[in-house]
Structure 1
C-alpha cells in the first residue's frame, strides 16, 4: 500500500490561490455569492486536504464555496463547465511536460454559453495569464462607457443646468446611497447602559435581592435615541428652474431613506411626500412634477412658510430640522418674511437654508427675502451641484450633538 505522501495529488504544483480566485470569479459571474471569505476558505481547504481525485476536489470546493441550498445548481453547472471535456489534469509535478520560456500552461475552460475560451484566458493553475495587448479602437460604432463611481464623482461638481435626465437620476441614486446618517434626538424611553447617568431602580433592586438587599451592583440606564423629523421646503419657481430636478432627487432621498416630510412651493404650498415615495425614481419625479401645477411661476416664500405652520402639517415642524431650498427671491415684503421665519424659529429645532447662489464668488445675501430670513437660520449652505447637496445632507448629523451657531 503506498504511503500517504506518495499518493497521487490532483493539481500538485499548482498555485492554489490563483486557482481559487479564478474559480470564485467564475462562480460570481454565474450569480453565486463567492466573496473573499469563500475564496479564503477554498485556499485553506485545498491546503489542509489536497484533492486526490475529481470527486474529492468537487466536494472540497462545494463545502468551501456554497452557503445556500439554492446555489447548488449554479455550482454544479460551473464546476461541470470547468472540468468536463478538458485535457487530463497532471497528478504530479513529474507529469508536467517541460516548458519553454515562450510557453503558457493553461487549461481551456468551456464557457457557460457553450463557447471555449482560449489564448491564455483559462484558469491560471500553473502560470499567470499571458499579457494581452489592448484592443485597437474601431470606428464601427460608438461605444457608451459604463457610468462608474469615478464618473459620478466627476459629475458631482457639474452645475445642474449642464446635466441631462439620465445623469441627474444616476446622481440621485448615489445621493440616496450616501445618505446613511440621520439626526437623532433623546427619546423618553430608557434602556440599560454602562454609560448611563440615571440609576435603573428595578434592575438594581432585583440584583440587591441576591445580596441581602445590599445594592452592590448598580445598573444604569440611558435614553433611547429616536430619529429626528426632517421637513424640507423646495422652491420650484422660475428662478429655480435649473435646480428643480436635482432638488426633487434630494427630496426623494429624504423621503425614501427616513420618511421625511417634503413640500414644494411657488405661489402656494404642495405636499410631495406621497408621490416621491414611489418605487420608480422616474415615475416618482413625474408624479411630483404633475402635482405641482404652479411651478416656474412667481415666488411667495413667507406666505408658504406661514401656510405650512397654519396647516395640520405644522406639527411636523415641531422639534424637527427644517431645510429650505431657495434662492431667496420673494415677492412678499421682507416684514412678512421676518414674521414667518420668527414663527418657524420658535417651533423648529434647526433651520438649514440651501441657496444655489451662495457658493458664487463675491455673493452676499443682499436680496430682501434672503436678508430677512438669514438671522433665523442656523446654517446657510451652497447648493449648486450634487457635491453641495451631499455636503448638505452630511450636515444633518450635526443635529445629534447640538444646535450649531447661526450662520
Structure 2
C-alpha cells in the first residue's frame, strides 16, 4: 500500500506539472479508488485516474500524454469486453536493463511506475545515458503555467472602467445617439521569466539538463522568456532555444556558447546583465549556479542587491542543495543568499517539477 501511494502521488505531481489541476483532494479520491481496483489492470488504473484527476475536456490530452510517459505504452482504449486480468509475479524493479524479459512484463504497472518514481528522485549527474534520456523525455512534456501580471495596455471588456473614446466614436457613427457604454480593462499577460544558467566547469554535469528545462520554458511562453548562459561571459541563447526540436536547440546552444566548462565570474556577468537592461525589471529572475565565484564575492553581493530591487522575485537554483547535509559555504552563495527570494535544488526531475510549481505561483 505504501508503494501504491507513492506511485499514485508521483503521477498526480506529474499531472500538476503538466497543467492538470490534480490537487490534494483529487489525489485522495484516486487513492481511495485504487484501493478497490486490481492495480495490475492497466485499463482500470487509466480510467480511475481520468475520472478522479481530470476536471474537464481540456485536461484529457495532457492526461493521456502523462499516463503514457509515466506508466509506459499507449493510452488504453475502451472495449466492449473487459480485458483479461494479468497476474504479475515480479514485485521489484531494477534500473539495469540486463536480464531476460518474461511474459507479462509490459503489464507490470507497479514496477514500471516505481522505476519512474525512482528516476524522478535521482541526481542527473549520477545517471546512465539511458536513464538521462528518459528523464529528458519526461522533462520535455512539462507544461508549466506562468504567473500572470496586469499589463498597462487595455482591452475591450463587458465590465470595467468606461472607455470614453470608443463610446464617443460609436455615438458619432450612430448620428449622435448613444446606444451603449463601452468599457475596458487592463490586459493580463504572463509574467516574464529570465533564466541565467551557469555553464562553468563545476556545473558541467547539470548544465545540459538545466538548458533543456529552459527550452521547455521558452516553448511554453516564447515571448515572455529570456535565457542567458553565464561563465566567463554573458551569452543570450533565447533564439537558439526557440527551435521546436530539443536536440536541434541544444546543438544550436552548444555552438553559440563560447565558454563551456570555463571559469565563473558571476558578479561581473550579473553586473553586465543589469547594466545593459536585459529585462530584469518586474520579471522572475532564476539563477542556476552552484555559487563557485572566481571573482570578488562582495561584487556579487552588491549586484544581487540591485537585482532584488529590480526583479519581481529572484530564485536561486543550486544542484548541490539536493545533497544530504548541504551547507551554503562558498563565498558566492553566502554573498547572494540574503537577496534571494527562494533557494531550491536543481539536481533531479522532482526538483525541476518543484521549480515549475514555484514559477506558477512566484
Match of 1:299 in 2: 264
Structure 2 Cα separation of the partners of residues 124 and 251 of structure 1: 41
Higher-helix-fraction structure? 2
Higher alpha-carbon deviation: 254-263 or 337-346: 337-346
Count of residues paired in the alignment? 270
The TM-score normalised by the length of structure 1 is 0.56
Match of 1:316 in 2: 279
**SS class of match (2:320):** coil
Unaligned runs of 5+ in 1: 1-24, 26-35, 37-122, 400-407
- In the TM superposition, what is the alpha-carbon distance from 1:338 to its structure 2 partner? 1.8
CA shift in 2, pair 1:132/1:251, >3 Å: closer
Select which of 366, 384, 391 maps to 2:354: 391
Match of 2:135 in 1: 171
Structure 2 Cα separation of the partners of residues 362 and 135 of structure 1: 38
Higher alpha-carbon deviation: 270-279 or 165-174: 165-174
Structure 1 Cα separation of the partners of residues 140 and 313 of structure 2: 22
Structure number with higher relative contact order (C-alpha < 8 Å, ≥ 6 residues apart): 2
Match of 1:346 in 2: 309
CA shift in 2, pair 1:315/1:262, >3 Å: closer
Match of 1:222 in 2: 185
- In the TM superposition, what is the alpha-carbon distance from 1:248 to its structure 2 partner? 1.7
- In the TM superposition, what is the alpha-carbon distance from 1:299 to its structure 2 partner? 1.1
- In the TM superposition, what is the alpha-carbon distance from 1:353 to its structure 2 partner? 0.6
- Report whether the alignment pairs 1:267 with 2:257: no
Structure 1 Cα separation of the partners of residues 99 and 144 of structure 2: 44
Select which of 360, 368, 374 maps to 2:337: 374
Structure 1 Cα separation of the partners of residues 86 and 117 of structure 2: 30
Match of 1:189 in 2: 153
- In the TM superposition, what is the alpha-carbon distance from 1:134 to its structure 2 partner? 7.6
CA shift in 2, pair 1:253/1:169, >3 Å: farther
Match of 2:252 in 1: 287
Deviations, residues 245-277 of structure 1 (Å, cap 9, x unaligned): 211211111122212211112211222222222
Unaligned runs of 5+ in 2: 1-42, 44-50, 52-77, 91-97
Structure 2 Cα separation of the partners of residues 383 and 124 of structure 1: 43
Structure 2 Cα separation of the partners of residues 129 and 364 of structure 1: 53
CA shift in 2, pair 1:237/1:315, >3 Å: closer
CA shift in 2, pair 1:371/1:124, >3 Å: closer
**SS class of match (1:178):** coil
- In the TM superposition, what is the alpha-carbon distance from 1:387 to its structure 2 partner? 0.7
- Report whether the alignment pairs 1:162 with 2:139: no
CA shift in 2, pair 1:345/1:156, >3 Å: same
Structure 2 Cα separation of the partners of residues 319 and 132 of structure 1: 55
**SS class of match (1:364):** coil
CA shift in 2, pair 1:242/1:130, >3 Å: closer
Structure 2 Cα separation of the partners of residues 128 and 339 of structure 1: 66
Q: RMSD value over aligned CA atoms?
A: 3.8
Match of 2:25 in 1: none
Structure 2 Cα separation of the partners of residues 397 and 132 of structure 1: 40
Deviations, residues 304-338 of structure 1 (Å, cap 9, x unaligned): 11122234xx2322221110001111011122112
Structure 1 Cα separation of the partners of residues 131 and 342 of structure 2: 28
Q: Contact conserved, 1:187 with 1:224, CA < 8 A, in 2?
A: yes
Deviations, residues 344-381 of structure 1 (Å, cap 9, x unaligned): 22332221111112233443323211111112221111
Structure 2 Cα separation of the partners of residues 175 and 132 of structure 1: 31
CA shift in 2, pair 1:195/1:354, >3 Å: farther
Structure 1 Cα separation of the partners of residues 340 and 290 of structure 2: 14
